[in-house]
Structure 1
Amino acid sequence: MIDIKGAFDYDSFHPHADRTYRILTDVTATNNDEQGFATSPLPLADALKQNYPFVEEATRVVGNSGEFSANRKQLPVIYSAVDPGFFKIFGFRLEKGQAAIAPQTVVLTQQTAKRFFGTANPLGKIVEHPTLGAMMVAGVLAENPTKSHLNFDALVSMATFSSPESQRSMTNWTDYAQGYTYVLLKPGVPAETLDGILPALASRVTKGLRFAKDKGYTFRSQPLTKLSPAREELMRASYEPTAGKLETELGIGLLTLLLAAFNCINLTLARSLSRAREVGIRKVAGALRWQLMGQFMAESAVLSLAGLGLAYGMLQVIKPMPFVQQWLIGGVQWENDIRIWLVFITFSLMTGLLAGLLPARVLSSFQPAQVLRSQTGLRVFKGITLRKSLIVVQFSISLLAMISLLAMALQQDYMATADYGFQRENILTIPLNGLPSGRLSTDIAQLAGVEQVAATGALFGDHGNGWQMIHRQKAGGDSSAAHVFATDANLVPITDLTMLAGQNLPMSVSDSASRMVLVNEEAVRTFKFGTAGTAVGQTLWLNDSTEVQIAGVLKDFKFTTLVWKIQPLLLRYQPNEFRYLTVKVAGNDPEAIKSNIARIWKRQNPYEPFNGQWYDDFLYDRHSHTDDISFMALLIGLAVSIACLGLLVTYTTELRTKEVGVRKVMGARVSQVIWLLSWDFLKLLLIAGAIALPLGYLAGSLFLKTFTYHVSLGLGALSLCFGILLLLGGLTIGWRTYKTALTNPAKSLRSE
């Protein structure tokens, strides 16, 4: 509920949200398939503002990420390039300073300013970017009252992008996936006015354009107030939560609540024997049926409210946990919102009343003559009973959830420990954090036990070092996006990559080394070079401006996350983009070597902590997602616990107490009595398994297929989940039936 409230609160702090719109692009492919994009061509904002008087303001937002350097620190930053109109349309308030309007100026968020400058005043300070150059901090943003679909650490003035390549992008109508366009309509202008001109505008600007993979596109508007939660799957979507995500979370919550309601019904009915005489006496005394129903439903409502109080107390205990903040709260302010508490209380009352309705009807229907005379003939259920159906449903849901969780856990473990195709043992990764790589690399290489040192722009097994458009010919249209990794010649032997043809990058550190590149097999296929051998010596163009020559071809390996298939890769010497050192150490005492490296780091950079990490640990931390799995395990543990509590062992054993006494007098052993009482419940667990196992296999397989490289959900995993369910259910059943089987026959026979 908290997360759902937060989704609807997105962007509620903007002053003109009711007349602000994002322009979407609907693209028609050559096969006539249509796909909506949240982005639009960059010239669109100026075209709308200059040509249509009802548009008060328009702005472009171009998101990106990279390493920024300042105050002897080099840190990753998510930044957006924005026009001056951005600060007029949106309500991102400045805590100090002014907006980033002039070239080479930037505005930082509070968190980013603290990361770089601590408590010092950041205004007027310089931050540097490898491509954008030095930029002055013009202002610091205040904390937003709610979340926004625009997520950034810094806002860079669009005027900073003045290179010829950037200017071409600003006037390119064929590229609809580079940035977002927002317009602010004048007061009183309806959305229909904007929607009316967009198709004609799209037709006009695309006339005569040639698209490589599309027929064309058109535009439509999306109100800012309707962005979150997103009800449509858009390409290049921003950071707003999707309706599907919220529906999944709501479904999990309601499912858990449904299991609890089943338990309330089950346990109330199971204890009905203990209240049968109470009902009979009250009816004899003149109580009406509706009065009895009101009493039992009120009891259920009180228990539900008590559960709400207990849930709030438990939330306070687990609130500091990272996965709770990520999944449940996420910065949403709700505890002082009276409306939320009214919803919680109303929902708890309704749940309690509905859960208590069926038990109230059953208990109030008892006949006084029957319950006051004897309880042995009293039967709440008959035939294929409600109680059996509820038990089967509860355990089916629990088993389905267990299988799904196991599939997630197995995949995360596989991603953390899989063979990526490169060496990862005894390799230390060191973030440079702005420190020049040359001297540090030289000093580390002289240590005993250090075999080789390489400088890189990113680490294999992460998200890559950034996309670039690569052209086969300078003026040709045969281009494709590829990952370009900055590195030197030592990385290939350190990571034990296989060279299929050609040779490694040259060891020289001169500019000539940057003209040679290594490519993988997928790049050879993408650019249609034929074989690895014929690709050696061929040339490629980077961003229409830089010609490089292929020195060698590497065997394909998984250099990004396993979610993606292997993509085109170029390794290139680019020392200005080096962000990490990768150090291969001898295997005799790696921790001692790591300590020696840390001492060298401290001598050269005494103000920054040493964050060296073994490559194995980096991949495990990057892909294991332990917090997410822990949270899911908590939910499923609650579901299984609720299901076990709902077993109606008490009801059946109380009805069969006399039978147990007779069988024991006739010589039945305790083990035979336990089996007799347990078999009915074990059959229900087997039925639940028959239902949930195929459904769980299907759900787990569908989840795993979202990954290009994934594990298989085999018979062993399914058996493990079913075995755990049988064990927990069997222990629950066995404990109660064991107590009943030990009952003294004289006592049980006298109870008649």
Structure 2
Amino acid sequence: MLQNYFKIAVRSIWKHRLFSIINIFGLASGLMVCFLAIAHIKGALDYDNFHTNRDRIYRIITDVHTKEDDKTAFATTPLPLAETLKKDYGFVENSARIVRTYGEVLGNEKRLDFLTFAVDASFFQIFGYPVAQGHVPTRPGTAVISQQTAEKLFGKKDPIGQVLEQDGIAPSIITGVIADTTSRSHLRFDILFALPKDKMNLFDEGKGWNEYGKSYTYVLVKQGILEYQLQNILPAISKRESAGLAPGGIKSLGFRAQPLTRISPAMEELMNSTYEAQLSGLTVEMSVGLVTLIMAAFNYINLTLARSMSRAREVGIRKTSGALRWQLLGQFMAESVILSLLALGLAYIMLELVKPMAFVQQWLIGGVVWDWKLWASFVTFSIAAGLLAGLIPAKVLSNFQPAEVLRSRNGLKIIRGISLRKTLIVLQFSISLLAMIALVTMMRQQYYMATGDYGFQNKNVLNIPLNNIPYERLSNEIGKLAGVEHVSGISEPFGHHGATERIKTKRADENTVTSFIFDVAPDFTKTLKLTLVAGKDLPEKFTAGHQILINEEAVKKFGLGDSKSAVGKSIWLNDSTEVEISGVVKDFRFKSFNWEIKPLILRPEIPGLRYMHVAVASGSEDRVLAETEKIYTKLNSYETFEGKWFDDFLYERHAHIDDISFMALLLGISFSIACLGLLGMVTYNTQTRIREVGIRKVMGAEVAQIIWLLSRDFVKLLSIAGAIALPLGYLAGYAFLMNFAYHINIGFETLGLCFGVLLLLGGLIISTRTYKAATGNPVEALGNE
């Protein structure tokens, strides 16, 4: 019987090849997206599996209760908790603290940003990170780095014994290199400094149990100790230490133990969370895959039901011959399974094509182990998807009665004459159009951020990382080149992060204002063509002076009156340095477009410069770039020249090409499925009405009239889809744009473009199929009953 099912299914698939191809491609597309989500979910479940003692490791999290009875969960804890657990409870074998540190790291005369932490020596006894070279830190003043960090800082030089420096951390000697591994962990780092036990107040500012936001606490329990035993001791610690909290908004602290094996995926949102996958994100990813798969299933249901009359005759004959309903169900389900297995093969090919995409590697499948369990889940999911997609058509078709077939009673109505098939088409195109509006909005916003007017000159400005080259030496060499108009420098390029400081207008004032501060070199305003609205520019030659430039927003936030009256006044940086305002520059966007314009200080500080800006005359770009690279290589032959044009820097930072490419792929799949479904429906509709077309042509109907007759119902469906998706897409687009202080507007250029593409694609599909039917020979149409 199974062999018979297989033969009939293969013959049916081959007989209706167009419909089969549409179904296989649609199911394969949906399966491919689902496979990416499944692989990511498996990767999230495999986090931290490489640690030998993973079943005995717990992270302690803190529940902060306010006096308003609000509760917030933190992944961090007070610093003293780790020592308390190890000292007071015998079943705790070891404990370790991990504290995030900030600031650039100086090593090998390079100053770069890294992901850095300070950890107890016991950290390496709890966790099983493999060491590629050297040994782990055993005392303060030592550190380990990752292999990638070693390559960035030292190239081929041996990093062992080299010294790293970071603000707030004592100079640390590198004792080991942690091996790069493809295995995923919720803890990510570039550098781990040894945590000094005698200077803990540097990290909690002497607040002790009152500071719960800086340290992660991990414990290793002894063999045979169960989770509830650790959980049972934490309330007593919470009660004891909450009684000694300083007066304020915090009512009490509660502690919970979280097994390492259950950190990822995260079931709850934690403040100061680490890098574990979030359940909400995985749910969204799987939802996208399921929506794509459901759209493909819509096609299968739609096209199968569209051919319901021809299959109904088959059902009638088989039932008359004595076939039972469950046998017919088995036959139709066998077709679905075969289609799903064919789709699985195509989905595998599509998966291999998208695997190399940067977005896919970085955010979805990087580090995922592709073992037999993952492939078994793919096969199982594919068969289940095929069975579910074929269930509705199988139940409907197997339920036909011979008498109903003879009377052509195949009505599949759900609401007052609106057929199920038409409803599915509307849903498909509504989803596709909604996704298109959202994607186009995102693309327009990213392009706006990448190419918009920041208020400073970024075209024909070369942006060069200094690394360990002295600014004065490089600027003197480059300044001599023909075509170079101005040379200056900055601590961090605009459009990047930048440092902040607390500013006071009076030293004794308790009120402070957070301001972004950049160290700059002479000629800075001329290089980037900043507009001076009051006062005078910084002197062309300066040392670490006490004159600064501020922007108009800083004048407002500092309470200095207007721009003219602000000139000559003094402010205090970090309670220690008094500086005089030399001039005020016009407001410009020195941060990302996510931010509104903030207070800005430009401070003359040559030692703080990390980048050089070179303003180049038009027409000299290529020559100046080539000569600058030669000068740079001559002064620092060990480093690769990484200079790039400022507008290219902003474009790469804000365009997010990899993300947009992946989303465009999903949109293309969505529209392909919808269009193929429409193609199948139009093809079937024209085939079933071919005799009607022949009669109308004999009676004198024009080709245009016949085309409109065959296509008007589908045009109506596209219009309904547009009416549904346009307002929803508008709302979805603005929900995304609310994350940006400066953003585009969603108008006709977005909505009209997307709806126009929908009508164009739908119109091409409809017109090509209906035109062929309308221009056919009526004699052949009437003769083919």
Superposition TM-score, scaled by structure 1 size: 0.90
How many residue pairs were aligned? 738
Q: Contact between 1:21 and 1:221, CA under 8 Å: does it hold in 2?
A: no
Q: Quote the offset at 1:252 in angstroms.
A: 0.6
Give the match for residue 537 of structure 1. Answer: 569
Give the match for residue 203 of structure 1. Answer: 242
Give the match for residue 388 of structure 2. Answer: 354
Task: Return the alpha-carbon distance in structure 1 between the equivalents of residues 580 and 217 of structure 2.
Answer: 38
Task: Return the alpha-carbon distance in structure 1 between the equivalents of residues 572 and 193 of structure 2.
Answer: 31
Q: Quote the offset at 1:393 in angstroms.
A: 0.6
Cα distance change on mapping 1:749 and 1:630 into 2, 3 Å: same
Output aligned runs, 1:325-404, within 5 Å: 325-334=361-370, 336=371, 338-368=372-402, 377=408, 379=410, 381-382=412-413, 383-404=417-438
Cα distance change on mapping 1:295 and 1:734 into 2, 3 Å: same
Q: Which range moved further: 695-704 or 118-127?
A: 118-127
Q: Quote the offset at 1:356 in angstroms.
A: 0.9
Cα distance change on mapping 1:169 and 1:521 into 2, 3 Å: farther
Q: Quote the offset at 1:73 in angstroms.
A: 5.2
Q: Quote the offset at 1:14 in angstroms.
A: 3.2
Q: Aligned partner of 1:248: which letter?
A: V
Cα distance change on mapping 1:579 and 1:216 into 2, 3 Å: farther
Q: Contact between 2:119 and 2:194, CA under 8 Å: does it hold in 1?
A: yes
Task: Return the alpha-carbon distance in structure 2 between the equivalents of residues 111 and 698 of structure 1.
Answer: 43
For the pair 1:726 / 2:755, whether they are aligned, the reply is no
Cα distance change on mapping 1:569 and 1:51 into 2, 3 Å: farther
Give the match for residue 471 of structure 2. Answer: 437
Q: Which range moved further: 524-533 or 97-106?
A: 524-533
User: What secondary structure is seen at the aligned counterpart in 2 of 1:166?
Assistant: helix
Q: Quote the offset at 1:88 in angstroms.
A: 2.4
Cα distance change on mapping 1:458 and 1:124 into 2, 3 Å: same
Task: Return the alpha-carbon distance in structure 2 between the equivalents of residues 231 and 120 of structure 1.
Answer: 44
Q: Quote the offset at 1:52 in angstroms.
A: 5.7
Q: Quote the offset at 1:49 in angstroms.
A: 4.6
Residue-by-residue CA offset, 1:668-688 (whole Å, 9 max, x unaligned): 111111110000111111111
Which of 154, 175, 193 does residue 138 from structure 1 map onto? Answer: 175
Which of 221, 233, 247 does residue 283 from structure 2 map onto? Answer: 247
Which of 38, 53, 57 does residue 94 from structure 2 map onto? Answer: 57
Task: Return the alpha-carbon distance in structure 2 between the equivalents of residues 58 and 622 of structure 1.
Answer: 40
Output aligned runs, 1:125-524, within 5 Å: 125-129=162-166, 132=169, 134-144=171-181, 146-159=183-196, 166=202, 169=205, 171=207, 175-185=211-221, 188=225, 190-208=229-247, 214=249, 218-221=253-256, 223=258, 224-334=260-370, 336=371, 338-368=372-402, 377=408, 379=410, 381-382=412-413, 383-464=417-498, 466-470=499-503, 477-511=510-544, 513=545, 515-524=546-555
For the pair 1:604 / 2:638, whether they are aligned, the reply is no
Q: Contact between 2:537 and 2:582, CA under 8 Å: does it hold in 1?
A: yes
Q: Contact between 2:306 and 2:421, CA under 8 Å: does it hold in 1?
A: no
User: What secondary structure is seen at the aligned counterpart in 2 of 1:77?
Assistant: coil
Cα distance change on mapping 1:279 and 1:215 into 2, 3 Å: closer
Q: Quote the offset at 1:725 in angstroms.
A: 0.8
Q: Contact between 1:23 and 1:219, CA under 8 Å: does it hold in 2?
A: no
Q: Aligned partner of 1:80: which letter?
A: F
Cα distance change on mapping 1:638 and 1:94 into 2, 3 Å: same
Give the match for residue 642 of structure 1. Answer: 673
Cα distance change on mapping 1:91 and 1:197 into 2, 3 Å: farther
Residue-by-residue CA offset, 1:524-554 (whole Å, 9 max, x unaligned): 4444445443474323242x55554544444
User: What secondary structure is seen at the aligned counterpart in 2 of 1:646?
Assistant: helix
Q: Quote the offset at 1:54 in angstroms.
A: 5.7
Q: Which range moved further: 354-363 or 223-232?
A: 223-232
User: What secondary structure is seen at the aligned counterpart in 2 of 1:206?
Assistant: coil
Q: Provide the aligned C-alpha RMSD in A.
A: 3.0
Q: Aligned partner of 1:352: which letter?
A: G
Q: Aligned partner of 2:593: which letter?
A: L
Task: Return the alpha-carbon distance in structure 1 between the equivalents of residues 586 and 457 of structure 2.
Answer: 13
Q: Quote the offset at 1:692 in angstroms.
A: 0.8
Q: Contact between 1:489 and 1:504, CA under 8 Å: does it hold in 2?
A: no
Q: Quote the offset at 1:365 in angstroms.
A: 3.6
Task: Return the alpha-carbon distance in structure 2 between the equivalents of residues 422 and 62 of structure 1.
Answer: 38
Q: Contact between 2:79 and 2:204, CA under 8 Å: does it hold in 1?
A: no
Which of 686, 694, 697 does residue 727 from structure 2 map onto? Answer: 694
Q: Quote the offset at 1:38 in angstroms.
A: 3.3
Task: Return the alpha-carbon distance in structure 1 between the equivalents of residues 90 and 315 of structure 2.
Answer: 77
Task: Return the alpha-carbon distance in structure 2 between the equivalents of residues 29 and 480 of structure 1.
Answer: 27
Residue-by-residue CA offset, 1:175-227 (whole Å, 9 max, x unaligned): 5444433344555262423430353255244225x6xxx55663433513333
Residue-by-residue CA offset, 1:396-425 (whole Å, 9 max, x unaligned): 101111011011101101110112222212
Q: Quote the offset at 1:359 in angstroms.
A: 1.7
Q: Quote the offset at 1:708 in angstroms.
A: 1.8
Q: Contact between 2:231 and 2:257, CA under 8 Å: does it hold in 1?
A: no
Task: Return the alpha-carbon distance in structure 2 between the equivalents of residues 621 and 302 of structure 1.
Answer: 45
Task: Return the alpha-carbon distance in structure 2 between the equivalents of residues 167 and 33 of structure 1.
Answer: 26
For the pair 1:108 / 2:141, whether they are aligned, the reply is no
User: What secondary structure is seen at the aligned counterpart in 1 of 2:632?
Assistant: helix
Task: Return the alpha-carbon distance in structure 1 between the equivalents of residues 120 and 609 of structure 2.
Answer: 30
For the pair 1:676 / 2:709, whether they are aligned, the reply is yes
Gaps of 5+ in 2: 1-37
Q: Quote the offset at 1:646 in angstroms.
A: 1.3
Task: Return the alpha-carbon distance in structure 2 between the equivalents of residues 27 and 500 of structure 1.
Answer: 48
Give the match for residue 612 of structure 2. Answer: 581
Gaps of 5+ in 1: none
User: What secondary structure is seen at the aligned counterpart in 2 of 1:143?
Assistant: coil
Q: Quote the offset at 1:637 in angstroms.
A: 0.7
For the pair 1:706 / 2:743, whether they are aligned, the reply is no
Residue-by-residue CA offset, 1:558-582 (whole Å, 9 max, x unaligned): 2222222333333323433321101
User: What secondary structure is seen at the aligned counterpart in 2 of 1:639?
Assistant: helix
Give the match for residue 14 of structure 2. Answer: none
Q: Which range moved further: 87-96 or 345-354?
A: 87-96
Cα distance change on mapping 1:505 and 1:530 into 2, 3 Å: same
Q: Quote the offset at 1:666 in angstroms.
A: 0.2
Superposition TM-score, scaled by structure 2 size: 0.87
Q: Aligned partner of 1:246: which letter?
A: L
Q: Aligned partner of 1:540: which letter?
A: W
Q: Aligned partner of 1:593: which letter?
A: V
Give the match for residue 14 of structure 1. Answer: 51
Q: Quote the offset at 1:706 in angstroms.
A: 1.4
Task: Return the alpha-carbon distance in structure 1 between the equivalents of residues 500 and 220 of structure 2.
Answer: 32
Q: Contact between 1:445 and 1:452, CA under 8 Å: does it hold in 2?
A: yes
For the pair 1:97 / 2:131, whether they are aligned, the reply is no
